[in-house]
Chain A
Amino acid sequence: SSMVFKRGSVGAKGPRAYPPHQLHHQMPVLLIQDKRRRGQLAALSIAAVVIIVGVPLWWRTTETYRAWLPVSQIKDLAKLQLHLSADVEVVFARGTVTPEQQKKVPLTQTQDEEHTVDGDLLMQFMILRYETKYRTATIMEEDALKKPTAADLSLHMLSESPCGSLVVYVIPESSSLLPEDVNVYIGQRRTALVRISAQMRVGKTLEQLLAQLEPQIKQVLQVMSFSHTDITVALSDRVRFRPGNKESIADSMRAFKSSPGYEITFSLLNPDPKSHQLHWDIEGAVQTYIQPLLTKLSPLANFSMDSQTLYYTMLGVTPRFDSSFEAYTLNADSLAHVINPVEARLGSNAASSNPVLNFLLYVPDIRHSPLYIHDHRKQEVPSNAFHSPRWGGIMVYNVNGFYGSETEFPVHVNINMAKVMGVFLAQLRLLLGVQSLSPPPGFLVAPCGSTGLADWELDRLMWSRSVENIATATTTITSLAQLLDQIGNIVINDNIAQQVSSAVTSLQLAMAELEVGNLGFALQYSKEAILASEKAFFDPSLLHLLYFPDDQKFAIYIPLFLPMCVPILLSMLKIVSEARQRRREKQAKKE
């Protein structure tokens, strides 16, 4: 159908009659403008989608999950300001204080000692507090003190002092409890006896008397409770050693580090079963002699024990015959080479990662009997045993005295377990960190008793272990926080964050308990802190993700993003330049 133009009927609303060529000119301009606007809109919307949706999406999907860690609390803990507190009771027996002085007793004094410890990063402060209570003795205590022997045991029966505290009884000069040259007696439990000297008493006020007594009481505290040097040694991870402290370095190297459990292995080495048929009642011996010590030490760690017998295992060193002693000797220098060949044969029953203590009983073969260990002064060592730091001990047990030359071989020998276990127990004490100090002059220390450990020795061990655990756990947590901060692409799972939080809480509780003086709880919390911090630090998921050097990162992202970004950028530039051109034209038109 064709259009009909009606002549003469044209109104205002009729179609305008453009000449055809003008129509053609208008159309392309409109189309071009339309197209351009559409293009600009498209470019702008793509850019908007990329920036608003794409960039956050990429950021979120390439982010590593990092749970929240209590970093500020960890920083506070890193300062490690230790407050240790011990309760001391000083009891005056009759005859030590005058009636006027007696009126002023009971009295409580608090002594604070502030020490600075040179740490790795910063100076640390340590406050040692002794809360001393003074009082006079009760009737029952006086009766106990009158007994000539075992006074401290009967005193102990009256009142058992809690863990970490001490009682010092001051007895008059006339008392016959202590021998002549001894002024201080340190008992098996947590009691000590101090003998007052005549010139201390006469005509002085209570304050002067206390001041006179103070140096002796301080010495007692140094021996029976913690001291500045002990705590410094326990902090040895974080503290630089002064060169004069060689003995304490040796002590810290010898004892095993604090661990939640230990494995103890007893081995009987019989290199010559043809001549000696050895029998040792290890189960009974362990139950009677070793188990009491381990039960006493149970707040510190779990212990598991086993035993074995090895045949045809020789020492790695050939002993030499010494005619002056009519025996074979091993001198101190060659002992270091004994352990390695034996250790290869020992095997291990341990399924856990706990440290292993090995105790070996070596019975020399008949051609090298008797065998004695000589020290560097060529004198016989009475125990005939030696130990190696952080490894265990070896004892040589000679059986040639049990039979003559005409007996029938193999000879059946029953090993005297009491003697053997006495040596092993002494070695065990040393390896577990019970320090053997030389007491000051005028001091007499009671023997450790059948368990092998005095109560105050246990307290000392608990103090130093608590401090060591707290220091180690703090260092672990601090270095973990630092590590996670430094390496940005390690994933921190929720369970790690939870372990860290529980470690921080346990540490804070442990330090609070130490400040108050509850040694048992402090040790328990410190153990929990160490377990949690080790679990967090050694979690397998924390392995450092592969390191991406910058040039590799660019190499991966450029082929993905550059082809997409170039058209967007260019079209943005084009829009901007067109807008600028239009503005210039408008300004030109106005002028």
Chain B
Amino acid sequence: MLCYTSLDILDIQWIWQFFSSGHTNNWAVLVCTSRFWFNYRHVANTLSVYRSVKRLGIPDSHIVLMLADDMACNHRNPKPATVFSHKNMELNVYGDDVEVDYRGYEVTVENFLRVLTGRLPPSTPRSKRLLSDDRSNILIYLTGHGGNGFLKFQDSEEISNVELADAFEQMWQKRRYNELLFIIDTCQGASMYERFYSPNIMALASSQVGEDSLSHQPDLAIGVHLMDRYTFYMLEFLEDIHPASKTNMNDLFKVCPKSQCVSTPGHRTDLFLRDPGSVLITDFFGSVRKVELTMDAINLTDPIKQMEEDPVNGEEQKEVYSYADQLPVSEIIHQKPKQKDWHPPDGFILGLWTLILLVFFKTYGIKHLKHIF
């Protein structure tokens, strides 16, 4: 059988239609940057976007989910193991197959930038890496507390819009994305995309500079606000999208007008090469694979070689594997509390005593030393 194909006009047209967007795989980086129980809504925001993105087809291996705090197992959660996005507990976005890649204190500016630029230590597992190539479309969603030109991480540090723009430029230099969609839901979110200068980036924000993004509705049973307005209405919009839908980006720009959101959502498309009207929502939120039919096959006639059992190899392979010693739970339960090791006193205590002694000898003179020793 020949190894060559002969493509006719119909085939070529069909191929071109599928390759018009230029991407072959999708990635998503979803980040929630705030901790503490009263920032429940930020975790719910991120988990709702995660759920939509998974529903539309992006697999867990292509999603990097970073949650700065654990709301589902928080001591103050009246319904443990759940995170609700709608009041009256209609929708549990935590589910039972959520895969959080960076959790708790691992969500830092440094780790976020490392994930984006790919500069991770060699021991980082695959699930914590963004292994995109030049044909990947990436969705980046950030939520938390922000200000004019910065986004707060973990209540102790912040990332500035210049750093973010530089990180995207490094991604472009190494061709780590084909197109990038950046969505941010924080106060004054539009300031974060002002400084972008790399090509093929489209950005959406929930509020302009000087405006605050507001939260949606509190749930009286849980006691906190469950979601932010922009993400809530964006999710309502995404629930109508299914993997084969042809809705484009212009509809996403119209989500949450001022009457519903109170703040004015903004977007930036000047760096994007394609017209937003021709960009499908599923180009970023879903993962529609391009497919080609295999037109030919190779004719193989040799019979399968029987693998000879090498006696030496056979013995090596007969090594018996067994589980490593598991945690001896019964011993732990009935254990006495462990004696804590003695530590020398802390520097503070030492310093305090030194100060007291110095003051004493200064006032009363050195001859009183004999009273001590």
Contacts and interface: CB of A to CB of B under 8 A. Distances in A.
A388 B290 contact: yes
Given A387-B291, A388-B291, A423-B294, A538 B302 contact: no
A353 B59 contact: no
A390 interface: yes
6 contacts: A237-B134, A246-B15, A287-B305, A436-B296, A475-B175, A538-B119
Given A284-B307, A438-B6, A540-B119, A427 B293 contact: no
Contacts of B22: 253
B10 A479 contact: no
Contacts of B118: 538
Contacts of B291: 332, 335-336, 338-339, 386-388
A115 interface: no
Interface stretch (A66-74, A373-381, A565-573): A373-381
B299 A422 contact: yes
Interface in B291-320: 291-307
In the A-B complex, list the 10 residue pairs whose CB atoms are closest, starting with the nearest.
A479-B173, A340-B57, A284-B304, A385-B294, A422-B297, A423-B297, A335-B291, A339-B289, A383-B297, A422-B298
Given A283-B307, A376-B10, A426-B297, A389 B292 contact: yes
Nearest to B163: A547
Contacts of B134: 237, 257
Interface string B1-38: 11111110010101110010010110000000000000
B3 A448 contact: yes
B24 A390 contact: yes
Interface stretch (A126-134, A344-352, A405-413): A344-352
A309 interface: no
A390 B135 contact: yes
Interface of B: 1-7, 10, 12, 14-16, 19, 22, 24-25, 57-61, 110, 113-114, 117-121, 125-126, 129, 131, 133-135, 160, 162-163, 166-167, 170, 173-175, 243-244, 287-307
Contacts of B110: 543
Contacts of B160: 547, 549
A544 B126 contact: no
B294 A426 contact: yes
B2 A447 contact: yes
A347 to B, nearest CB: 9
Nearest to B131: A353
B298 A452 contact: yes
Given A237-B134, A383-B296, 18 more contacts: A284-B305, A288-B305, A332-B14, A332-B293, A336-B288, A336-B290, A338-B291, A351-B126, A382-B297, A388-B291, A390-B133, A419-B300, A447-B2, A447-B299, A476-B174, A483-B170, A540-B119, A544-B166
Nearest to A252: B135
B294 A393 contact: yes
B119 A340 contact: no
Contacts of B303: 288, 418
A437 B7 CA distance: 10
Contact of A450 (B1, B57, B163, B302): B302
Contacts of B289: 336, 339-340, 388, 391
Contact of B300 (A352, A450, A544, A546): A450
B157 to A, nearest CB: 9
A476 B121 CA distance: 19
A288 B304 contact: yes
A250 interface: yes
A415 B53 CA distance: 37
A112 to B, nearest CB: 30
B25 A390 contact: yes
Nearest to B170: A483
B196 to A, nearest CB: 15
Most chain B beta carbons < 10 A, residue from A340, A353, A418, A422? A340
* Interface residues of B, dominant DSSP: loop
B290 A445 contact: no
Contact of A425 (B293, B300, B301, B305): B300
Contacts of B121: 540
A343 interface: yes
B287 to A, nearest CB: 6
A285 interface: yes
Contact of B19 (A249, A289, A385, A447): A249
A383 B295 contact: yes
Contact of A253 (B24, B175, B300): B24
Interface in A306-365: 332, 335-340, 343-344, 348, 350-353
Nearest to A347: B61
Nearest to A391: B289
A375 B244 CA distance: 19
A488 interface: no
Interface string A278-312: 00010111011100000000000000000000000
B14 A537 contact: no
A173 to B, nearest CB: 25
A547 B162 contact: yes
Interface in A128-149: none
A376 B14 contact: yes
Contacts of A350: 126
Nearest to A395: B294
A439 interface: yes
A543 B288 CA distance: 33
A254 interface: yes
Contacts of A202: none
A445 B19 contact: no
A237 B134 CA distance: 9
Nearest to B166: A544
A388 B291 CA distance: 5
Most buried by A among B60, B114, B162, B297: B297
B129 A389 contact: no
Interface in A234-288: 237, 246-247, 249-250, 253-254, 257, 281, 283-285, 287-288
B337 to A, nearest CB: 39
B293 A373 contact: yes
Given A438-B7, A543-B117, A381 B293 contact: yes
A417 interface: yes
A281 B303 CA distance: 12
Nearest to B127: A348
A356 to B, nearest CB: 9
A114 to B, nearest CB: 28
A537 B119 CA distance: 8
B113 A543 contact: yes
Contacts of A352: 126
A151 interface: no
Contact of B59 (A343, A448, A546, A549): A343
A539 interface: yes
A423 B162 CA distance: 50
Contacts of A178: none
Contact of A439 (B4, B14, B19): B4
A335 B292 CA distance: 9
Contacts of A283: 307
Contacts of A391: 24-25, 289
Contacts of A257: 133-134
Given A288-B305, A337-B244, A353 B126 contact: yes
Nearest to A287: B305
Contacts of B299: 422, 447
Contacts of A206: none
A426 B166 contact: no
Contacts of A417: 304
A213 interface: no
A386 B162 CA distance: 44
A340 to B, nearest CB: 4
Nearest to B61: A348
Contacts of A423: 294, 297-298
Contact of B114 (A343, A543, A549): A543
A421 interface: yes
Nearest to A335: B291
A417 B15 CA distance: 30
Given A284-B306, A373-B293, A476-B174, A540 B120 contact: yes
